[in-house]
Amino acid sequence: MNPLLSRFFAYYAPYRGLFLLDFGCAVLSGLLELGFPIAVQAFIDRLLPGGQWGTIVLAGAALIAVYVLNTGLMAVVTYWGHMLGINIETEMRRKAFAHLQTLPFSYFDNVKTGQLVGRLTKDLEEIGEVAHHGPEDLFIAVMTLLGAFALMFTVHPGLAVLTAVIVPVVLWVTTRYGNRMTANWRRLYDSVGNFNVRIEENVGGIRVVQAFANEAHERELFARDNARYRSTKLEAYRIMAASTSLSYLSMRLTQMIVMVAGAYFVLRGGLSAGGFVGFLLLVNVFFRPIEKINSVIETYPKGVAGFRRYLDFLDTAPDIRDRPGARVAPALRGDIRFQDVSFGYGVGREVLSHVSLDIRPGETVAFVGPSGAGKTTLCSLLPRFYEVTGGRVTVDGQDIRDLTLASLRGQIGTVQQDVFLFGGTLRENIAYGRLGAGDAEILEAARRARLGEVIELLPQGLDTLIGERGVKLSGGQKQRLAIARMFLKNPPILILDEATSALDTATERAIQASLTELARGRTTLVIAHRLATIQNADRIVVVDESGIAEQGTHAELLARGGRYHQLHEAQARA
């Protein structure tokens, strides 16, 4: 089977019961529709001439009963069929979100949020729709086409052959638009993605937009996307208009031709009145699947385009993941070794080349050096946010690639310059350090991060909403919140990446006290911009473009008169 199809049908497996119910009812309903023209034929040819009212009323009642049954079947198909669709959609969305979370930083370096949002919402909705209607519509269309033709043949072979000659023309007219529609829907989805990206970036960056008074520029960019979306959609409607009206015309033409030809056969005596009416009704039944094909032409390409994009996404392999046989890390002491480590982002030049460095358990090591030298990069290799391309990193003697990601990252805490906060309450944001922490622990962590007084002054305390990404907090408060998270998480290894660089010196000094307390008893890697903040580190490592330039204590490095000495002088003068 086509791999796309087989992957699609795999999603039906858990819902076999629902599928059979939906499918069975739909097929039964299709059969009842097929039987109706034959019933009418019998009614006209056999019951009418007899003129017995009792039988006629009885037959009418029987047909009503059949229609009531069919109504019930259609209700089942509408409700449980859609349930099947939404179940599959939900499962796909769950899978996509779970996959999203396994993807490494490098994936997100190159992706647009709005596109991803589109995939998880609109795309999957369309797939769900096809998952419900697709197989059922297709099967019933084929069944009705063949069934109706067989019945026509029994009524009048000559007329049936005539119809069979005309219908392929109708089919050709309606299906030739299918491929063009698929291509068009793909383009349409991409433009919806572009929309999402624009709106996302504008809402997130509205402060920048307004600060630069660049609203008109943004409107123009948006107008361009908007226009592209409009023209793609118009193209879709143009195709749709052509295909629906042409197929309408060809259907009606067929019916009229069949009617005139049928009249000829009636007059010549080869066709009864009932057969004539029955045949015309059969032609209608015959066309229903073709109409259905029209609606399938509308929904199916959307679903296929969406499903392809969904698979593309799902097939993006997370290249940083647990190795087969990866061990859960025991409680780490924090003996960290970078052994001949090389790394580069993508194909470009290497950012780190043959770097070696040993860090003892409990040691505080500071990294200083020019911006862009690779300090952040070096530290992000330790939690495996990026993977070394050469050499290895070990913790307590174990290659970090032999440990499970969760157990490794669970024991490393990172505080960065820009803290990402979620738009909930203070409580939720602090508790992100250890989900499920109680209020007493949260308040204790807040107190140690010197966030206690802030919380006490707030009328709603821990329940205070901090705004999207924490916009209602000051820079210093955000950092304190990040530190409170770390007190809760309590990891043996800590990375402080310019945690206070964005703050004024007074705030920095105040937060420094919390950081010193946080670092106590942990192996700590500090990246610092202002040298004054790391003078007491056990060791200072100077990183520059060539790698590790020199290392030692503050006093040793000053005495050496090298790179550190230069940096120190430069900052003292400033």
Judged by the rule CB under 6 A, the positions of this chain that interact with ligand ADP are 109, 345, 351, 371-377
Q: Which of Mg ion, ligand ADP, none binds 374 (CB below 5-8 Å, type-dependent)?
A: ligand ADP
Residue placing its CB nearer to ligand ADP in the complex, 92 or 528: 528
Q: Which of ligand ADP, Mg ion, none binds 345 (CB below 5-8 Å, type-dependent)?
A: ligand ADP
Residue placing its CB nearer to ligand ADP in the complex, 17 or 372: 372
Residue placing its CB nearer to ligand ADP in the complex, 175 or 380: 380
x/- binding map, residues 337-376, to Mg ion, per CB under 5 A? Answer: ---------------------------------------x
Residue placing its CB nearer to Mg ion in the complex, 34 or 496: 496
Shortest Å distance, C-beta 14 to ligand ADP? 39
Residue placing its CB nearer to Mg ion in the complex, 271 or 494: 494
Shortest Å distance, C-beta 375 to Mg ion? 5
For strands 539-544 and 352-359, give the pairing.
Answer: unpaired
Q: Which two tokens stand for residue 465?
A: 């909403």
DSSP state of 360: -
Q: Which two tokens stand for residue 6?
A: 């087989």
SS (H, E, C) 149-209: HHHHHHHCHHHHHHHHHHHHHHHHHHHCCHHHHHHHHHHHHHHHHHHHHHHHHHHHCHHHH
Shortest Å distance, C-beta 104 to ligand ADP? 11
Q: Which two tokens stand for residue 424?
A: 């909930």
Instruction: Measure the CA dihedral 408/412/413/417, to 10°.
Output: -100
Of residues 371-410, those binding Mg ion (CB under 5 A): 376
Asked if 23 and 139 count as a contact pair (C-beta separation under 8 A), the reply is: yes
Residue placing its CB nearer to Mg ion in the complex, 455 or 494: 494
Q: What residues does 364 pair with on adjacent strands? A: 524
Q: Which of ligand ADP, Mg ion, none binds 373 (CB below 5-8 Å, type-dependent)?
A: ligand ADP
Residue placing its CB nearer to ligand ADP in the complex, 175 or 501: 501
Shortest Å distance, C-beta 418 to Mg ion? 11
Shortest Å distance, C-beta 326 to ligand ADP? 25
Shortest Å distance, C-beta 103 to ligand ADP? 14
Q: Which two tokens stand for residue 521?
A: 């008893």
Residue placing its CB nearer to ligand ADP in the complex, 109 or 569: 109
Burial (0-12, 13-18, 19+ Cβ within 10 Å), 211: exposed
Tell me the CA distances in angstroms from 227 to 60, 185, 221, 435, one per residue in order.
Answer: 57, 16, 10, 46
Binding residues for Mg ion, how many (CB under 5 A)?
1
d(CA 21, CA 77): 8
d(CA 222, CA 198): 7
Shortest Å distance, C-beta 180 to ligand ADP? 39
Q: Which of ligand ADP, Mg ion, none binds 453 (CB below 5-8 Å, type-dependent)?
A: none
d(CA 169, CA 246): 11
Q: Which of Mg ion, ligand ADP, none binds 480 (CB below 5-8 Å, type-dependent)?
A: none
What is the secondary structure of 498-555 as a DSSP string?
STTTTS-HHHHHHHHHHHHHHHTTSEEEEE-SSGGGGTTSSEEEEEETTEEEEEE-HH
Q: Is 249 left (phi over 0), alpha (psi -120 to 50) or beta?
A: alpha
**Gyration radius from the chain CA atoms:** 35
Shortest Å distance, C-beta 369 to ligand ADP? 6
x/- binding map, residues 417-446, to Mg ion, per CB under 5 A? Answer: ------------------------------
Residue placing its CB nearer to ligand ADP in the complex, 377 or 411: 377
Residue placing its CB nearer to Mg ion in the complex, 35 or 344: 344
Q: Which of ligand ADP, Mg ion, none binds 160 (CB below 5-8 Å, type-dependent)?
A: none
d(CA 253, CA 52): 38
Phi, psi of 350 (to 5 degrees): -75, 135
Q: Which two tokens stand for residue 164?
A: 């069979």
Asked if 77 and 19 count as a contact pair (C-beta separation under 8 A), the reply is: no
Shortest Å distance, C-beta 358 to ligand ADP? 20
Shortest Å distance, C-beta 374 to Mg ion? 8
Residue placing its CB nearer to ligand ADP in the complex, 497 or 508: 497
Q: What residues does 338 pair with on adjacent strands? A: 357, 393
Q: Which of Mg ion, ligand ADP, none binds 351 (CB below 5-8 Å, type-dependent)?
A: ligand ADP
- Read off the amino acid at residue 453: E
d(CA 190, CA 118): 9
Contacts 24+ apart (CB under 8 A), 214-221: none
Shortest Å distance, C-beta 527 to Mg ion? 6
Q: Which of ligand ADP, Mg ion, none binds 446 (CB below 5-8 Å, type-dependent)?
A: none
Q: What residues does 539 pair with on adjacent strands? A: 365
Shortest Å distance, C-beta 568 to ligand ADP? 18
Asked if 368 and 543 count as a contact pair (C-beta separation under 8 A), the reply is: yes
Residue placing its CB nearer to ligand ADP in the complex, 419 or 446: 419
How many Å from the N-terminal Cα to the C-terminal Cα in the chain?
71
Residue placing its CB nearer to Mg ion in the complex, 251 or 379: 379
Shortest Å distance, C-beta 316 to ligand ADP? 17
Residue placing its CB nearer to ligand ADP in the complex, 34 or 100: 100
Q: Which two tokens stand for residue 298?
A: 């509308």
Residue nearest to Mg ion (CB): 376
Shortest Å distance, C-beta 497 to Mg ion? 6
What is the side-by-side order of every strand in the sheet holding 547-552?
412-415, 493-497, 523-527, 364-368, 539-544, 547-552
Note the residues at the interface with Mg ion (CB under 5 A).
Answer: 376
